[in-house]
Chain A
């Protein structure tokens, strides 16, 4: 238990440090935000850091972004590997938000916090192992994550069961990240947050 918290703490610091780096680089935070976020800019403009969403989360999935996050310090964020958003039917975090920084979600498929991305080099499904944990835990199974069946070279009895993410349908809840069965050398699935997507668009 103690070890778990210690590791979680390290993870949080790492997340914070990564975010801080991006602040230094002159862009806004890349943190994974609660459901109901519309865009990072909109969220930052509205969030008054009151912590009500954090208090409302029944899964304790929401945390306060630490001081290394620059102007984002004090805002709510999710460490998906530690505890993903469980897409509650009544979205208590959204209901608790007094400033509409979180808004406009009614059903499980409404939120768009980001989308999942798989590292094909590390994911064992790409090597032909029957894993696909991310697919089976997805709250929008067969929509946000589907399986693509790909033949394997020089192997006439195995097929790769490739988890394939629909950017459009994926809510970015991060349950796939929390549950991924691989952690060495690192977890091969992560959430590309709205802020990160905005930055990628700017670059391209």
Chain B
């Protein structure tokens, strides 16, 4: 298939493309007629393919240039509407991630278990040996005790791969012990969206930036973690000097450095500040009365929920009650807010009364457009779900929602946390497309799409182990089989002292479990593997990512994987066919029932000639979840149970290539597929409004022409969520508050970016950013090695006051990209009791100079 890259506006985009191609070291094909995807450029053997950046949730489109089966350059795709032609420095060097010398190219089998935790003790194996062994161990565990197996996936897993994985786990193994690393970054946002709107993901889009009058970043170092979106924010700011940016944060960052106003807080003060804003909106009658009357309902929920100190927390009385809510009146909600005066919010948070009042006045002003961005500071929080609630609350009460430039936007960290983890539903409690295992109608609908007998999925009506639970039970010796892919858990999980078996004697189950790691490079995780499966990386196969603005995009296969490395989807099929061997569903071979339409198990190959066709065919089944009319049985359930599955409608596969990505819901109008940029906001579909969705399910004529048609009674829930303290409070023994996160040059655990020489030169070492006064008090100089010690563990790192981040006294920042530092040895394992997302932002520690 060939697609015209420059189908639209070639002339307009040429300037950018020329500049970027030149910058990336190639001008091939940039002169003359429009270059075409997958077709040789006249005069040389260069081909160009369409792709999406491998790194963050911005989801920047890129064009990949290939010569002699090697990626020679990558540059921004001018026609991907998420980035329109530019990248950050990581994207600039994307081609290099494929070619570090230590790529894994052969399956490895651990022969010496006493060397687990090291790179030693492996032998190279054939695929048949490795797959037989993995399948034997999985089947053995499955037959013996299904609760003792788990798969840990990722927001970096391409969409159809995640879909097939979830189908194998949920329908094939009838197990809910599958969870993604997105649990570590977006779970609090997800539970917030689901509780408030009953549908996941932001209503707005990146184009909101172009219209906003005020930006508020809440717990978001966007300047480093979302580089190209921040470029767009700065574009809006310099084009209009009246546009203001408020940074609400616990830590001075590069984002704070460019903000017009920085509001520094601590002690979970975000909960108090947001409730304070809500309080005065009501007290001063500056809330949007018609918006409240037309759109909202009010609730309260379980409070005083404590923290998950014990492994059994989720099953405790309070642990089981955390999700419960009750309807309350608007007046009762107002009453609950009354304690949240400026003085009280200031006292709790440390922010000044004047600063909180200034924030309130923004929301009280109906004549400005406010775009709030939030990310890990909000989500990785022991009350992360509650803060998400409160941010939605103040936007909803004030009517600042769902209009261009005016709304709350939860930023995503991984390239397909939305597209795969959240939309496919590779979580322990989910099914595809916002469906959950605990809901009977949702199971019936999924059975219909998957062609399973009615009631077949009732065996998985109870959610399985979430991420921290998986690793807690692994350490407890209660997991016998763990398979991980597209992540590096041995570096990214919290409390690694426990989870890597370096702590208590009775928490060393990691050494007994059979662990399978699908990977492209050696990582700390592969050191703990019993089998390493070498995987095709990024554009070595075709895949799909869904980014932070609901944009689904395809990356084409550009080159072959090295050595014996294989497509993850092939590995999955080969393992599934072995494990399901002899099993039946409804009298039919179980593997064939689930995967036979795509894979010939006897031939050991896909039933299509190209990966494009394989992906397209899987996509078509996945797409049925959001296009129920494609399946008669599903359509009937959708209608009868009012599931409104079209709320997340997806287009045929080829549309995503042709259009360089599209934001869902995608609607068919007069034979053309049109994206939606502003969900729930009525207006012409052609302009990106949710016309079709509202005409299908919503109401017209309501305040601001908005209709929240996916919400119960079409009314999002404003739930009162009080202030409650962090899991750890600084004391004499552990006086510092440690925050970890990403920096621009390296992505997550650095397994890709640290292998790019230019990026490693740029940022070769993880530093502990400290306040100069703290360093002086402790007799620590720049460059000194220090120990970071918490209740959970300790690590060594180099101290710095150079100021990339500027912590206040008694606050610290360290990035988590450095394997040799392994800062997560120190991190607490407490999580938000609702979302089960760990808090990586405020473990209490002390600092000791090494050798002092």
A binds B: yes
**Does A112 sit at the interface, judged by CB under 8 A?**
no
Q: Are A159 and B235 in contact (CB under 8 A)?
A: yes
Q: 4 closest A-B pairs (Cβ-Cβ)?
A: A130-B227, A130-B88, A131-B89, A159-B234
Kindly specify which of B11-19, B342-350, B525-533 makes contact with the partner chain. B11-19
**Which residues of the partner chain B approach A150 to less than 8 Å between Cβ atoms?**
238
Q: Are A124 and B92 in contact (CB under 8 A)?
A: yes
Q: Are B231 and A184 in contact (CB under 8 A)?
A: no
Q: Are B19 and A179 in contact (CB under 8 A)?
A: no
**Which residues of the partner chain A approach B19 to less than 8 Å between Cβ atoms?**
127-128
**Which residues of the partner chain A approach B92 to less than 8 Å between Cβ atoms?**
124, 129, 131, 181
Q: Are B782 and A136 in contact (CB under 8 A)?
A: no
**Does B783 sit at the interface, judged by CB under 8 A?**
yes
Alpha-carbon gap, A87 to B803, bound state (A) = 14
**Does B620 sit at the interface, judged by CB under 8 A?**
no
CB distance from B165 to the nearest CB of A (A): 33
Q: Are B87 and A133 in contact (CB under 8 A)?
A: no
- Residues 14 to 63 of chain A near chain B (Cβ within 8 Å): 58
Q: A89-B781, A89-B782, A155-B84 are in contact. Are A147 and B258 (CB under 8 A)?
A: yes
Q: A151-B239, A181-B761 are in contact. Are A130 and B804 (CB under 8 A)?
A: no
**Does A180 sit at the interface, judged by CB under 8 A?**
yes
Q: A130-B227, A133-B745 are in contact. Are A151 and B782 (CB under 8 A)?
A: no
Q: Are A158 and B238 in contact (CB under 8 A)?
A: no
Query: With A124-B92, A130-B89, A139-B803 given, can you name 14 additional A-B contacts, CB distance below 8 Å?
Result: A86-B782, A129-B87, A130-B231, A131-B92, A138-B802, A141-B802, A151-B239, A155-B84, A158-B228, A158-B232, A158-B235, A178-B761, A179-B762, A181-B745
Q: Are A137 and B762 in contact (CB under 8 A)?
A: yes
Closest to B90 in A: A130
**Which residues of the partner chain A approach B782 to less than 8 Å between Cβ atoms?**
86-89
Contact partner of A161 (CB less than 8 A), chosen from B15, B231, B232, B762, is B231
Closest to A59 in B: B783
Q: A130-B89, A133-B745, A151-B238 are in contact. Are A157 and B84 (CB under 8 A)?
A: yes
**Which residues of the partner chain A approach B366 to less than 8 Å between Cβ atoms?**
none
**Which residues of the partner chain A approach B85 to less than 8 Å between Cβ atoms?**
155, 158
CB distance from A145 to the nearest CB of B (A): 11
**Does B210 sit at the interface, judged by CB under 8 A?**
yes
**Which residues of the partner chain A approach B696 to less than 8 Å between Cβ atoms?**
none
**Which residues of the partner chain B approach A153 to less than 8 Å between Cβ atoms?**
15
Alpha-carbon gap, A155 to B76, bound state (A) = 13
**Which residues of the partner chain B approach A155 to less than 8 Å between Cβ atoms?**
16, 84-86
**Which residues of the partner chain A approach B321 to less than 8 Å between Cβ atoms?**
none
**Which residues of the partner chain B approach A131 to less than 8 Å between Cβ atoms?**
88-89, 92
Q: Are B804 and A141 in contact (CB under 8 A)?
A: yes
B contact residues vs A (CB 8 Å cutoff): 12, 15-16, 19-20, 23, 25, 83-89, 91-93, 209-210, 227-228, 230-232, 234-235, 237-239, 254, 257-258, 743-745, 758-759, 761-764, 781-783, 802-804
**Which residues of the partner chain A approach B744 to less than 8 Å between Cβ atoms?**
130, 136
Q: What string of 1s and 0s marks CB contacts (under 8 Å) between A66-78 and chain B?
A: 0000000000000
- Residues 146 to 198 of chain A near chain B (Cβ within 8 Å): 147, 149-151, 153-159, 161, 178-184
Contact partner of A158 (CB less than 8 A), chosen from B23, B86, B237, B781, is B86
**Does A104 sit at the interface, judged by CB under 8 A?**
no
**Does A142 sit at the interface, judged by CB under 8 A?**
yes
Contact partner of A182 (CB less than 8 A), chosen from B87, B758, B802, is B758
Q: Are B254 and A156 in contact (CB under 8 A)?
A: no
Alpha-carbon gap, A139 to B254, bound state (A) = 14
**Does A90 sit at the interface, judged by CB under 8 A?**
yes
CB distance from B799 to the nearest CB of A (A): 11
> What would be 8 A-B contacts, judged by CB atoms less than 8 Å apart?
A133-B89, A137-B763, A149-B234, A157-B235, A158-B84, A158-B232, A179-B761, A179-B763
Q: Are B89 and A139 in contact (CB under 8 A)?
A: no
**Which residues of the partner chain B approach A138 to less than 8 Å between Cβ atoms?**
802
Q: Are B88 and A159 in contact (CB under 8 A)?
A: no
Q: What string of 1s and 0s marks CB contacts (under 8 Å) between A109-145 and chain B?
A: 0000000000000001001111101001111011000
Closest to B19 in A: A127
Q: Are A136 and B254 in contact (CB under 8 A)?
A: yes
Alpha-carbon gap, A104 to B232, bound state (A) = 45
**Which residues of the partner chain A approach B237 to less than 8 Å between Cβ atoms?**
149
Closest to B88 in A: A130
Among B20, B86, B804, the most chain A Cβ lie within 10 Å of the Cβ of: B86
Alpha-carbon gap, A46 to B691, bound state (A) = 79
Contact partner of B86 (CB less than 8 A), chosen from A58, A128, A142, A184, is A128
**Which residues of the partner chain A approach B23 to less than 8 Å between Cβ atoms?**
124, 127, 129
CB distance from B815 to the nearest CB of A (A): 12
Among A159, A161, A178, the most chain B Cβ lie within 10 Å of the Cβ of: A159
Alpha-carbon gap, A179 to B746, bound state (A) = 14
Closest to B783 in A: A86
**Which residues of the partner chain B approach A86 to less than 8 Å between Cβ atoms?**
782-783
Alpha-carbon gap, A90 to B92, bound state (A) = 38
Q: A147-B258, A184-B25 are in contact. Are A159 and B238 (CB under 8 A)?
A: yes
Alpha-carbon gap, A153 to B14, bound state (A) = 13
Q: Are B232 and A157 in contact (CB under 8 A)?
A: yes
Q: Are A130 and B763 in contact (CB under 8 A)?
A: no
**Which residues of the partner chain B approach A149 to less than 8 Å between Cβ atoms?**
234, 237-238, 258
CB distance from A85 to the nearest CB of B (A): 12
Q: Are B763 and A133 in contact (CB under 8 A)?
A: yes
Q: A137-B762, A141-B804, A179-B763 are in contact. Are A130 and B235 (CB under 8 A)?
A: no
Alpha-carbon gap, A129 to B22, bound state (A) = 13
Alpha-carbon gap, A178 to B84, bound state (A) = 31
**Which residues of the partner chain B approach A124 to less than 8 Å between Cβ atoms?**
23, 89, 92
CB distance from A135 to the nearest CB of B (A): 9
Q: A131-B88, A151-B239, A157-B235 are in contact. Are A90 and B781 (CB under 8 A)?
A: yes
Alpha-carbon gap, A184 to B93, bound state (A) = 12
Contact partner of B15 (CB less than 8 A), chosen from A154, A156, A183, is A154
**Which residues of the partner chain B approach A178 to less than 8 Å between Cβ atoms?**
761
Q: Are B235 and A183 in contact (CB under 8 A)?
A: no
Among B209, B230, B745, the most chain A Cβ lie within 10 Å of the Cβ of: B745
Q: Are A157 and B231 in contact (CB under 8 A)?
A: yes
Q: Are B89 and A181 in contact (CB under 8 A)?
A: yes
Alpha-carbon gap, A151 to B15, bound state (A) = 15
Q: Are B759 and A181 in contact (CB under 8 A)?
A: yes
Alpha-carbon gap, A157 to B744, bound state (A) = 19
CB distance from A126 to the nearest CB of B (A): 9
**Which residues of the partner chain B approach A154 to less than 8 Å between Cβ atoms?**
12, 15-16
Alpha-carbon gap, A87 to B85, bound state (A) = 39
Alpha-carbon gap, A139 to B801, bound state (A) = 9
Q: Are B210 and A156 in contact (CB under 8 A)?
A: yes
**Which residues of the partner chain A approach B803 to less than 8 Å between Cβ atoms?**
139, 141-142
Alpha-carbon gap, A141 to B256, bound state (A) = 13
Q: Are A128 and B89 in contact (CB under 8 A)?
A: no
Q: A151-B239, A157-B210, A184-B25 are in contact. Are A142 and B257 (CB under 8 A)?
A: yes
Alpha-carbon gap, A158 to B227, bound state (A) = 11
Alpha-carbon gap, A127 to B231, bound state (A) = 13
Alpha-carbon gap, A137 to B12, bound state (A) = 36
Q: Are B231 and A128 in contact (CB under 8 A)?
A: yes
CB distance from A94 to the nearest CB of B (A): 15
**Which residues of the partner chain B approach A129 to less than 8 Å between Cβ atoms?**
23, 86-89, 91-92
CB distance from A86 to the nearest CB of B (A): 6
CB distance from B802 to the nearest CB of A (A): 5
Closest to B782 in A: A89
**Which residues of the partner chain B approach A151 to less than 8 Å between Cβ atoms?**
235, 238-239
Q: A86-B783, A89-B782, A154-B12 are in contact. Are A130 and B762 (CB under 8 A)?
A: no
Alpha-carbon gap, A138 to B762, bound state (A) = 11
**Which residues of the partner chain B approach A128 to less than 8 Å between Cβ atoms?**
19, 86, 231
**Which residues of the partner chain B approach A88 to less than 8 Å between Cβ atoms?**
781-783
Alpha-carbon gap, A108 to B399, bound state (A) = 50
Alpha-carbon gap, A130 to B23, bound state (A) = 13
CB distance from A148 to the nearest CB of B (A): 10
**Which residues of the partner chain A approach B743 to less than 8 Å between Cβ atoms?**
136
